[in-house]
Chains A and B, each alone.
Chain A
């Protein structure tokens, strides 16, 4: 479903310039991959290019039949809106919207009717286990609850590709375990694909396979 071919990118990292060299990746529907690597090696840059938020210097990224790297910014944004879901380390819920409104936001963006939005938001909140918090505001939630809400937002429009960037970085061990299980379950349940960027070997272990990003490229770790 997702194909990355010979991707190259030089970029400004936190400790000077960095480079992604000859990155290749194939991801099938229903597959869940973890990408690990040292800080500053370009994991988030790779994720941004997959999402169409950044463009490579060379190489291509294809989602189904769509060559993401050939699209203009608006087309890439609309592709992301329709077919991708994002989970961040810092949750990024809009503080002035309720949990339900935050979760329903991607549906509003694709023009879903209010009734459908409410129904789907309710379902996904039920699925992630925080339906009781639907009318709460983010400031009233714990970190774990906020991340569950963020996952619900990423999944509510049933994206083909789920991208998670250090989703458990701010969570305690119990909450982290719950979130990781949930992400995996949802990818499998929706028959979508998922990429998990993480530093944590324990988190990476929840994926179907693990790849390590280094200066030399992306290489798969042998499955244990």
Chain B
């Protein structure tokens, strides 16, 4: 076959077929377009966030070669002159970074206190605004805002900004705006001395940016500094700093990427099912072409070209949709879809041509992959056989898929036992992919085995439906597999999210035993309660018992995000009633180091287990503790460590507190006690008092917002599944027009044909949904115990949300049955009676 002839044949065969079946074309296009759109949108949102985040980290580090980083609470500023005097150091710029709670708002703003003269040597961009003078910053009550922060707050130069410190507020004047090109994040800059004074951080800094002399070895300086820097203070490079910060969200971003990839896979499966059915429907046309001289490879190429065309059109649509979707997501939900990793960023959507081309090609590749099997099979089928009626099922019999399916599912189960790769659950995702693919491949065998056992019914439409399915299990399997693919993913996500929500609810019950909770600040790090305020709270009327909690950040490892230290009244005897402990607990002997209870996230990240001795940097010194137990914590993603507050105060002398858990005296009501407390504390701005119920509701509402994207993806997966059912039944109904015509001739009413198709739809979707439930449950186990565990390091209890699952199953079966009936009505809408005169 000369290659020049192929385009003509392609136009005649594929072009006309696609034009004559716009529904098939639209479904396949939508499958690919949705997959590409979701994949591209997730990728663009993620890369925009990372670009912006890295830019933010780089812009703050400026030209620094090293960053000395300590706990958020800071370290002694006397470290700075020692650094500055090192012979390898050309310039050093001390800083204090504080998340300050904005008065009258629920948000915090990052305020960085710098020494303007030193910063000019290390971060020259920082004060490069044309209208800014360094000396402006020396005024104690002024700050410079980034343009993004100014726009976010609705403030301009000369306006006042109030932030809460402790339980009172401080008013600061906006003296200038930072260079818009260099600082796109929400940020304020103050003089370091003013910041220490006004934000009550006297004598503390938490960061020093260091520029080394030419020829100095940064690693050697790092090693030297490690010898004498205070405990919990580390020297690192700006790149590592950036990597540490972005690493926090890496697993979350990968999860989103994987969800998008699953959507693309589902789209490819839709192309596969529509192409298989379209190929089956046209088998006699292909046989005729083969009979008149079209070669086997040419026919295969023809069909692959058809897939490529669908892929190109779908990808083009998908790339446009994905770009638009990314813009909407960034604007409405931010870079992390509400998960809170990149709160202060104001990213700009940026897509380079290479990325867009890569996703466009990926869509085409998936579409070609979806077409490959039917294309090869169509080429292989002997023309003489393909010309016979009933050959569709015979052609599909050649696909031996049961064993590969079993091998894949087994391989997937084996992979669930593999550990994370660089902190990412790559084998877990591979396991899910293998289980899903294996399940799809098992469907023809399973469909044949189950359908064979269906009883023969007397009612003719039901009898015909069962006979049709029993005779064509492989064709039914294509439809079943579409339902399984989409429904199992939905089931898995529903079980995972439901289990997480249930576990979160149970966790909140344990963690919130008091009647009322008081927080010194809604956000940020500048709110606290003084000892005197604590005493006033404890002795307030209506308060039966008050417990205070101090939280600080500890930098245990420079390459990992800081963990949260929680100091609260606790001992070995009371630990289980205070914390949701998992596994065994220990009570250290008097001669052993005191107890610390480790969250399971911290336990997994740092490899701590009960009985271990761990060293915590408190107040510049290392202090050894005994791990007395592991507890579940969903609030702090980077890990948390609980120690007794009395011990903490003895070590650090820090008597401040951030939160109070209040049990009410008998007869007291939460509202009246809250009002009394606010009055007693002088109605301070920033203090938040909430009942347990309110906190629980707010927490669950935040959870639901965070997982809103998964619900959207579940709906898309279900819709794609229904598209698959519709495509499958549509193609089969069109192929069976002559059968319907004959049935009408021998006295079957339209209604009875509708019932027959409804029965087929119900049986096929019921089988698909039963398999989808089983596979979804299996995948949910992998999600909960492997992917979630390796991504976020916290566990959850399995909780199957039966009611939503049953409701969804019933809805899907009904929708699939209705889709089947609708497809049949469409097929019968024309001259179905005349179809008996069409050629077989």
- Which residues of chain A have C-beta atoms less than 8 A from B838's C-beta? 90
A96 to B467, CA, bound (A): 7
| Least distance between A151 CB and chain B CB atoms (Å) | 13
| Least distance between B554 CB and chain A CB atoms (Å) | 70
| Least distance between B687 CB and chain A CB atoms (Å) | 75
B791-840 residues at the A interface, CB under 8 angstroms: 833-834, 836-840
Task: Choose the segment among B225-233, B241-249, B384-392 that binds chain A (4+ C-beta atoms closer than 8 Å).
Answer: B384-392
CB nearest to B749 among chain A residues: A77
A108 to B459, CA, bound (A): 8
Pair B463/A84 contact, Cβ less than 8 Å = no
Given contacts A95-B389, A96-B471, contact A73 B839 (CB under 8 A): no
Residue of A82, A109, A153 with most partner-chain B CB within 10 A? A109
A103 to B246, CA, bound (A): 71
Pair A106/B747 contact, Cβ less than 8 Å = yes
Question: Is B745 interfacial (CB 8 A cutoff)?
Answer: yes
Pair A97/B742 contact, Cβ less than 8 Å = no
A51 to B587, CA, bound (A): 92
Pair A101/B744 contact, Cβ less than 8 Å = no
**A90: contacting residue among B471, B750, B836, CB under 8 A:** B836
Pair B748/A109 contact, Cβ less than 8 Å = yes
A53 to B394, CA, bound (A): 33
Apart from the given pairs A88-B837, A106-B747, A139-B391, 8 other A-B contacts in the complex at a CB distance below 8 Å: A44-B837, A80-B745, A81-B747, A92-B742, A92-B745, A94-B467, A108-B463, A109-B746
Pair A77/B471 contact, Cβ less than 8 Å = no
Residue of B393, B463, B742 with most partner-chain A CB within 10 A? B742
Pair B833/A48 contact, Cβ less than 8 Å = yes
- Which residues of chain A have C-beta atoms less than 8 A from B164's C-beta? none
Given contacts A54-B833, A92-B739, A114-B458, contact A77 B747 (CB under 8 A): yes
- Which residues of chain B have C-beta atoms less than 8 A from A224's C-beta? none
Pair A96/B746 contact, Cβ less than 8 Å = no
Pair A94/B739 contact, Cβ less than 8 Å = yes
Residue pairs across A and B with CB atoms within 8 Å: the count is 90
Question: Is B296 interfacial (CB 8 A cutoff)?
Answer: no
| Least distance between A7 CB and chain B CB atoms (Å) | 17
Pair A88/B745 contact, Cβ less than 8 Å = yes
CB nearest to A96 among chain B residues: B471
Pair A138/B746 contact, Cβ less than 8 Å = no
Question: Is A86 interfacial (CB 8 A cutoff)?
Answer: yes
**B468: contacting residue among A81, A92, A96, A109, CB under 8 A:** A96
Which 7 residue pairs of A and B lie closest in terms of their CB atoms, listed nearest first? A81-B747, A96-B471, A95-B390, A92-B742, A86-B745, A80-B747, A77-B749
Pair A96/B390 contact, Cβ less than 8 Å = yes
| Least distance between B832 CB and chain A CB atoms (Å) | 10
Using CB atoms and an 8 Å cutoff, list the residues of chain B in contact with chain A. 388-391, 393-394, 458, 460, 463-464, 467-468, 470-472, 738-739, 741-742, 744-751, 833-834, 836-840
- Which residues of chain A have C-beta atoms less than 8 A from B390's C-beta? 95-96, 137-139
A22 to B758, CA, bound (A): 42
A121 to B739, CA, bound (A): 20
A74 to B394, CA, bound (A): 36
Pair A51/B745 contact, Cβ less than 8 Å = yes
A153 to B742, CA, bound (A): 12
Q: B interface, by DSSP: helix, strand, loop or mixed? A: helix
CB nearest to A84 among chain B residues: B747
Given contacts A108-B458, A139-B391, contact A86 B833 (CB under 8 A): no
Given contacts A44-B837, A90-B837, A92-B738, contact A105 B389 (CB under 8 A): no
A80 to B749, CA, bound (A): 10
Question: Is A78 interfacial (CB 8 A cutoff)?
Answer: yes
A80 to B741, CA, bound (A): 13
A205 to B606, CA, bound (A): 97
CB nearest to B832 among chain A residues: A53
Q: Pull 14 A–B residue pairs with CB atoms less than 8 Å apart, ordered by A.
A: A44-B837, A48-B833, A77-B750, A80-B746, A84-B747, A92-B739, A94-B467, A94-B468, A96-B390, A96-B471, A97-B467, A105-B464, A109-B747, A153-B746
CB nearest to B472 among chain A residues: A96
Residue of B470, B472, B741, B748 with most partner-chain A CB within 10 A? B748
A53 to B742, CA, bound (A): 11
A108 to B751, CA, bound (A): 16
Pair B749/A74 contact, Cβ less than 8 Å = yes
A101 to B471, CA, bound (A): 13
Pair A53/B839 contact, Cβ less than 8 Å = no
A39 to B738, CA, bound (A): 21
CB nearest to B831 among chain A residues: A12
- Which residues of chain B have C-beta atoms less than 8 A from A6's C-beta? none
Given contacts A92-B738, A96-B468, A97-B471, contact A81 B837 (CB under 8 A): no
A28-86 residues at the B interface, CB under 8 angstroms: 44, 48, 51, 53-54, 73-74, 77-78, 80-82, 84-86
CB nearest to B741 among chain A residues: A92
| Least distance between B717 CB and chain A CB atoms (Å) | 32
Mask, A112-132, CB within 8 Å of B = 1, is 001000000000000000000
**A101: contacting residue among B388, B467, B750, CB under 8 A:** B467
Question: Is A89 interfacial (CB 8 A cutoff)?
Answer: yes
A97 to B389, CA, bound (A): 12
A86 to B748, CA, bound (A): 13
Pair B749/A105 contact, Cβ less than 8 Å = no
| Least distance between B734 CB and chain A CB atoms (Å) | 16
- Which residues of chain A have C-beta atoms less than 8 A from B750's C-beta? 73, 77
- Which residues of chain B have C-beta atoms less than 8 A from A106's C-beta? 746-747
**B836: contacting residue among A88, A97, A105, A114, CB under 8 A:** A88
Pair B747/A78 contact, Cβ less than 8 Å = yes
A114 to B389, CA, bound (A): 27
Pair A74/B751 contact, Cβ less than 8 Å = yes
